[in-house]
A and B are shown apart, each in its own frame.
Chain A
Amino acid sequence: MIKINHFYRYMRQIFILSHANAVTYRADYFLRIIRSIFEVAVTYILLMSIYTHTSRLVGWTYAETLVLFAFVQIIFSLVMMWFGSIQFIFDDIRTGKLDRMLLQPMNSLFLASTRFCYITNIFRLLLGFFILLIALPQVTLTFSPLMIVATIISLVSAMYLCYALFALASIVAFWSYNNELWFLMDTLSSSLRYPVDVMSVGVRWIFYLIPVAFIATVPAKALLGKDYTLALISPLIALLVYYLLKKVWERGVRQYEGASI
């Protein structure tokens, strides 16, 4: 109970501080909101252009692809809002600021991931729910206990996976001192707005092996009743990647030299 209270107080403080920071740069705050809307508009235009030429894309209708897109928006906005600050770990490693986090009486990986709350992601989240609201009445859902369980566990696993993969991409900075892998993950995440099935067999395998396909396509398939097997094994994949993240972090911290500023 004390731990939960402690965690809640910490996250609340982070939110308050981040909000204060965001409103300091009002113009930037406003531009980020416009960017969120425009990001949705770009994908919407792309999907619209694609579906004016076909009614089904490898078995996915327009509305089903919108559900997939909504899932991407919801999962990424939640993860990036609370854990997005891990992307700047490369700078802390390079300048030695990581020392401070390692000395705090809290899990250092958690601290590095939650230093800042990206508040404008709330708009991305709302847009995600808005798209879902538009898309859901247009798809045929077959409710069953299996479908509900598979959707919920694959969504929760997707969030874990999303965080763990982005964090893994960031902490490579212990060895490379830059965050280019983060940008690679960011581009990969943009490609998740389209069903993985549309890709060639080789690319599809890579997407399942990395395993970014579990972030959006698998939960969307579970909700739409297209496939439950992958959804049911997704918690195992998420735990495996999270375990890998912890081990890589520990190894990185062991070899971190610091610069004592």
Chain B
Amino acid sequence: MAHQLRLLGSFIKVHWSIHTQYRFGALIWLVNGLILPLIIMGIWLVIGRDQNLALDQTTIITYYLLTIIVFRLTQSWAAEDLAFGIKDGIFSNFLIKPFYYQLIFIGKDLALKTLRLIMLIPVIALLTVILHQYIAVPLDPFRWFLFILAVLGGYLIELILSLTIGLTAFWVVQAYGGFVLYYLVKQLLSGALLPLVLMPDWLSQIAYFLPFQYIVYFPVQILLTPALTQREFVSFICLPLWLIILVILNCLVYRQGIKEYTAIGI
């Protein structure tokens, strides 16, 4: 275990070195992540001026600002990298080395996340200064502790889902269509575009049931609700259950998929 953690540290360092070379890319990634949430937030604020919505102005602004941060904190790049690795045969390198292949992707995620979040801090600080009278988050340390746990859980759900989507490349070879579809499903059902309470009833019921809500909506909701309700407690119990189910699914997909794997000597 200690050996695996040391290796994880090395992967983080390697990816840190690689990605500090592409600072312009990180800046664009940052701007990119702000556009859609801010535009949809603007639409809800326009509607909220004339109509009574389930959320007031402060909640809408806080929700979308937290969404920008949480979406980035739980994001994983594993699906694309793993799928390309399998298609190009690079995956063979991972199989013959003495570590879990997942470590490489976790290393990349952590390095990229740290680097890009450092760039996100000034932007969030600026938005907070501009919109401070419309932002309401609790100061209770216990709530922040739960938020960190929820973000960690959200990242693990996203990582395992991404790895599973990436593993489908064992069968489909070219998995681009799969992970673009996954990204769309995630965007909708995680609450990144639309808070679950503003969705049509049938859709919010589906979204509450599926694990995608843990990627954005659930961590945001921990900080957003004035008092934690039964729904949040139930979600906290369901989160580890979903993790177990997804890990089992991932192992099954891997075991079946590896039998299909072929790569020409590289």
Contact = CB atoms under 8 A, between A and B. Distances in A.
7 contacts: A54-B51, A58-B46, A184-B35, A187-B32, A191-B36, A191-B39, A200-B42
Give the residue among A35, A38, A50, A198 with the most B Cβ atoms within 10 A.
A35
B171 interface: yes
Contacts of A176: 22, 24-25
A27 B172 contact: yes
A57 B46 contact: yes
A31 B177 contact: yes
Interface in A66-115: none
Interface in B158-202: 171-178, 180-181, 184-185, 187-188, 193-194, 198-200
Given A46-B194, A180-B24, A180-B25, 4 more contacts: A28-B177, A38-B185, A183-B29, A198-B42
Nearest to A35: B181
Contacts of A199: 39, 42
B127 interface: no
Given A25-B172, A45-B200, A184-B31, A57 B184 contact: no
| 8 nearest A-B pairs in the assembled complex, by CB-CB distance | A31-B177, A27-B172, A180-B28, A25-B174, A32-B177, A28-B174, A180-B25, A35-B181
B50 A54 contact: yes
Contacts of A28: 172-178
A63 B185 CA distance: 25
Contacts of A57: 43, 46-47
Contacts of B203: 45
A29 B224 CA distance: 41
Contacts of A178: 22, 24-25
B28 A184 contact: yes
Contacts of A53: 47, 51, 53, 198
A49 B177 CA distance: 27
A48 interface: yes
Nearest to B29: A180
A43 to B, nearest CB: 10
Nearest to A172: B24
Contacts of A203: 39, 42
B35 A39 contact: no
Contacts of A27: 171-174, 177-178
B35 A48 contact: no
Contact of A49 (B32, B39, B50, B198): B198
A52 interface: yes
A192 to B, nearest CB: 10
Given A180-B28, A184-B28, A198-B42, A31 B172 contact: yes
A57 B46 CA distance: 8
Interface size class of B (residues with CB under 8 A): 35 or more
A180 B25 CA distance: 5
A188 interface: yes
Nearest to B178: A31
Nearest to A39: B184
B25 A48 contact: no
Contacts of B176: 28, 32
B35 A35 contact: no
Residue among A28, A30, A176, A187 with the most chain B CB within 10 A? A28
Contacts of B184: 35, 38-39, 42
Contacts of A194: 39, 43
Contacts of B51: 53-54
A170 B57 CA distance: 38
Contacts of B171: 27
Given A28-B172, A57-B43, A183-B28, A46 B50 contact: no
A34 interface: yes
Contacts of A180: 22, 24-25, 28-29, 32
A181 interface: yes
Contacts of A191: 35-36, 39
Given A25-B174, A28-B172, A181-B28, A49 B43 contact: no
A58 B39 CA distance: 14
Nearest to B185: A38
Nearest to B53: A53
B28 to A, nearest CB: 4
A50 B200 contact: no
Contacts of A140: none
A181 B25 CA distance: 8
A147 to B, nearest CB: 27
A190 interface: yes
Contacts of B193: 42, 46
Contacts of B178: 27-28, 31
Contacts of B40: 46
A200 B167 CA distance: 43
